[in-house]
Amino acid sequence: MSLYQHAREGNVDRLRDALGSDSTAVRKRAVELLGELADGDDQATIDGLLRAATSDEDAAVRGAAVDALDEIGQEALEQLLSELTGGSGSEAEWVTARKFARALEADRAELRIAAANALARLDEPSALPAIVGALSDPDPRVRLRACHACGTFADPRAIPGLIERLDDEPRVRRAAANALGAVGTDRALDPLIDLLEDPDESLRRIAAGALGNASNPKPVEPLARALGDESAIVRNAAVYSVIELLSNVPTEHSHTVRDRVVSELKAADDETVVEPLVEILTEGKQSRQRRNAAWILGRVADPGSEPAVEALAAALDDDDSQTSQFAATSLTNLGGPIVEDRLLDRLGTEHPDDVRAKAVFVLGQVGGQETLNRLEDLTDDESSAVRKRVFSAVSKLRAGGV
């Protein structure tokens, strides 16, 4: 039976037996699965992982065992550190952090790995200088964990060291990019712009996802270029970040950014842009993002795009008044038969009066003869808001020659 099957059945005993295998790959996989399955009360498994972390002949197995102890919990990881450093486990956090920081200078790489993981969990500010120093550790496994820890601290003081790690081996580069994204200042995000053209898809995705946190318009054009990336996950991350940029940039930059966003998005492939915008509008949890998605859709979508029109029509009933207003404006901008059909469907009394009134308003801008006929039947509608919009819309349609 395979290790995977043992893991599926929760057979921890058989996985522990595999720690004594002659195969390095088997021992490493057993360690990883034990980290996923065991909990802090399973001392037999913790003991097995402690032995693997301290005495296995293979460095990759030792490092994986440290990570497995970390995954089980802080107490399991501290058992390893206490065993290697003599800690009592009862000190104040800053005392423990100081001891773990000293462990970052230990000769054994596994101890340094464990210390970096533990300090990330403690999140004790006094340990940051030691973590930053570990970014230049000679062992890439330690540098990787130090990058993760810096991402947890999200402290700007780590920026220079993290930027240096962008030239490291692939896993470390990705961890450094993620950490810079977590710091999130413009100084931290600036180096990520160049990563949008990196051969590593994961790095491009990380960069595209993080740059939406910028507070200036500099990333707009690079993100727009990323909309043509060969990877769908990169393209999707770029659209989300463009929307986030609109939500985050200071007011003095807002108009400039909006103009550049619309210009760049209109030049991109329609489907690439519309699909994530529709997803943001229909499933997004933040009002600012939904507002911006509604606003942009009316300026970059094709009038024949049914997903865009459907999403905007549904947004007329959005709880956020600005989102519903932007949706109405965007539907007016798009116009066309599909918009007319979808809005005519929203004239029935099963819809809220404010939605019907917004639909009438837009129809007054984009409708044809069928719209005029339908609106004339609503001149005696029970809703005063609807009647008011109907009179105005009918007058516009007649004046326009419908």
* Residues 242/212, Cβ–Cβ less than 8 Å: yes
User: What is the span of the domain harbouring residue 392?
Assistant: 320-402
Number of domains composing the chain: 2
pLDDT, residue 206, reads 97
pLDDT, residue 401, reads 66
CATH value at residue 26: 1.25.10.10
The tens digit of pLDDT for each residue in 280-290 reads 999 988 888 89
Q: Domain end: 72, 102, 131, which one?
A: 72
Give the separation between CA 304 and CA 341, rounded to whole angstroms. Answer: 12
Give the separation between CA 23 and CA 50, rounded to whole angstroms. Answer: 19
Residue 396 located in a structural domain: yes
Give the separation between CA 254 and CA 354, rounded to whole angstroms. Answer: 29
Q: Does the structure show a pLDDT above 70 at 270?
A: no
Task: Tell me the range of 77-86, 216-225, 291-300 where mean pLDDT is highest.
Answer: 291-300
Residue 52 located in a structural domain: yes
pLDDT, residue 331, reads 95
CB-CB neighbours of 271 under 10 Å: 11
* This model's pTM is above 0.95: no
Give the separation between CA 15 and CA 6, rounded to whole angstroms. Answer: 7
Mean pLDDT of 206-229: 88
- Give the E-state strand segments of 19-153 in sequence order: none
The tens digit of pLDDT for each residue in 344-356 reads 999 999 999 999 9
Residue 36 located in a structural domain: yes
Q: Domain end: 47, 72, 97, which one?
A: 72
Mean of all residue pLDDT scores within the chain: 87
* Higher-scoring residue by pLDDT: 102, 206: 206
Task: Tell me the range of 176-185, 208-217, 374-383 where mean pLDDT is highest.
Answer: 176-185
Q: Domain end: 36, 57, 72, which one?
A: 72
Q: Does the structure show a pLDDT above 80 at 268?
A: no
How large a percentage of the chain has pLDDT more than 90?
48
Residue 376 located in a structural domain: yes
Token output for 326: 């932007």
The tens digit of pLDDT for each residue in 70-82 reads 888 878 877 877 7
* Residues 16/44, Cβ–Cβ less than 8 Å: yes
The tens digit of pLDDT for each residue in 292-332 reads 899 999 988 988 899 999 999 999 999 999 999 999 999 99
Mean pLDDT of 226-236: 86
Residue 109 located in a structural domain: no
Identify the residue whose tokens are 């898809």. 201
Ranges of H-type helices in 268-305: 270-283, 287-300
Identify the residue whose tokens are 């962008």. 166
Q: Does the structure show a pLDDT above 50 at 90?
A: no
Token output for 6: 């043992």
Residue 95 located in a structural domain: no
* Residues 170/194, Cβ–Cβ less than 8 Å: no
The tens digit of pLDDT for each residue in 130-169 reads 999 999 999 999 999 999 999 999 999 999 999 999 999 9
Q: Phi, psi at residue 218, to the nearest 5°?
A: -55, -40
User: How big is the CA angle at 32 (ends 29 and 38), to the nearest 5 degrees?
Assistant: 130
Query: How far does the chain reach from its first CA to its final CA, in angstroms?
Result: 76
Give the separation between CA 396 and CA 307, rounded to whole angstroms. Answer: 28
Give the separation between CA 365 and CA 395, rounded to whole angstroms. Answer: 11
pLDDT, residue 322, reads 93
Token output for 107: 């000769």
The tens digit of pLDDT for each residue in 379-388 reads 898 999 999 9
Residue 325 located in a structural domain: yes
CATH value at residue 385: 1.25.10
DSSP string, 323-350: HHHHHHHHHHHH-SHHHHHHHHTT-STT
Residue 348 located in a structural domain: yes
